[in-house]
């Protein structure tokens, strides 16, 4: 499970502000009076699943340490259009300077959570679980995987270091699935997953003792055959060609997991505004 520490969140905000503010917000610092105060509401303009709200609020706290903040929801909540997520009150310059970084983060992560929840719903009453992938923006992986979890997915491996994934190119270099699995076992590596394109490969991977078999770009009929071949000897994961139209049928084949790159790679940002509230 992806866990974000407060130190990581603070570092992320510092990097974001360094990129956006640079040497200073020349508009707010020269147009807005230094002692002006502002009260704003974070309001969604569409139905969403919230993710990244605390990070967005920390953006305001970073520049307005004495800000008064009212939270109206939590990450993972499904809220309706026109609902208020939070209200922030404090120094106007600081709030205006933090606005874009806070909104970019909240809109992007909530977009991922919202898309993820849609995919989970499309899987219906099956027992299959939705997994995320490594198809994330560089530097955003922990944040984006956190957002998928808020939407109802399970986190897959974080990177190349915490889970074995034997793919076709590895097999091509080593010579066979069996040799790859044997080498991973000899190195005492946990959770060995093998990508398979054919039913013969599925049988070999299961016989070799793989922990998980990734069934790549297989239609529902072929997936059912693969699940039957495995016969419960290991977990199965369907991947490739998965979208909202196909995921229901894929999940119903008996696979344990369905992995979807689209929930991070292609999720659109949701529309959340920062509107002036009456003091």
Give the torsion sign (CA, 92, 97, 98, 102).
positive
- In sequence order, which residues have a C-beta less than 8 Å from that of residue 264 and are 6 or more positions away? 112, 132, 133, 135, 136, 137, 144, 145, 147, 148
Q: 10 Å Cβ neighbour count for 224?
A: 15
- The catalytic position among 37, 61, 71, 135 is 135
> Cβ atoms within 10 A of the Cβ of 5, count?
9
SS3 label, residue 145? helix
Catalytic residue from among 167, 179, 185, 224: 167
Instruction: Please indicate whether residue 100 is annotated as part of the active site.
Output: yes
Which of 37, 39, 71, 100 is the catalytic position? 100
Residue 216 catalytic? yes
Tell me which DSSP letter residue 257 carries.
E
252: its two tokens: 């119903």
The burial class, CB within 10 Å (0-12 / 13-18 / 19+), for 89 is buried
* From 83, 216, 225, 271, active-site residue: 216
* Residue 167 annotated to the active site: yes
Interatomic CA distance for residues 53 and 34, integer angstroms: 27
Catalytic residue among 43, 89, 99, 195, which?
Answer: 195
- Please give the Cα distance from 250 to 260 (Å, whole number): 12
Q: Under a CB-based contact definition with an 8 Å cutoff, are residues 198 and 219 in contact?
A: no
Question: Could you give phi then psi for residue 244, rounded to 5 degrees?
Answer: -65, -25
DSSP H helical segments within the chain, as ranges? 6-20, 26-31, 53-63, 92-122, 141-151, 168-174, 177-186, 199-208, 220-230, 247-251, 262-265
Enzyme catalytic residues: 100, 135, 167, 195, 216
């Amino acid at each position: 499970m992806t866990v974000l520490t407060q130190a990581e969140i603070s570092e992320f905000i510092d990097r974001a502000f360094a990129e956006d503010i640079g040497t200073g917000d020349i508009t707010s610092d020269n147009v807005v009076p230094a002692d002006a105060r502002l009260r704003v509401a974070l309001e969604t303009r569409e139905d969403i699943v919230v993710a990244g709200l605390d990070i967005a609020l920390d953006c305001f706290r970073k520049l307005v340490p004495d800000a008064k903040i009212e939270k109206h929801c939590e990450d993972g909540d499904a809220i309706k259009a026109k609902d208020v997520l939070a209200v922030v009150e404090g120094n106007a310059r600081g709030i205006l300077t933090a606005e874009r970084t806070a909104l970019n983060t909240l809109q992007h992560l909530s977009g991922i959570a919202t898309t993820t929840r849609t995919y989970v719903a499309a899987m219906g009453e099956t027992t299959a679980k939705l997994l995320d992938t490594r198809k994330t923006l560089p530097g955003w992986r922990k944040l984006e995987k956190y957002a998928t979890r808020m939407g109802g997915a399970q986190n897959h491996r974080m990177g190349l270091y915490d889970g074995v994934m034997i793919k076709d190119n590895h097999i091509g270099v080593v010579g066979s699935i069996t040799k790859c699995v044997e080498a991973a076992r000899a190195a005492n590596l946990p959770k060995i997953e093998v990508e398979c394109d054919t039913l013969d490969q599925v049988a070999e991977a299961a016989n070799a003792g793989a922990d998980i078999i990734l069934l790549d770009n297989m239609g529902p009929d072929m997936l059912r055959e693969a699940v039957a071949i495995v016969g419960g000897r290991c977990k199965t994961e369907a991947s490739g060609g998965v979208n909202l139209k196909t995921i229901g049928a894929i999940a119903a084949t008996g696979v344990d997991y369905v992995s979807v790159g689209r929930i991070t790679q292609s999720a659109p940002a949701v529309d959340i505004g920062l509107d002036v509230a009456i003091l």
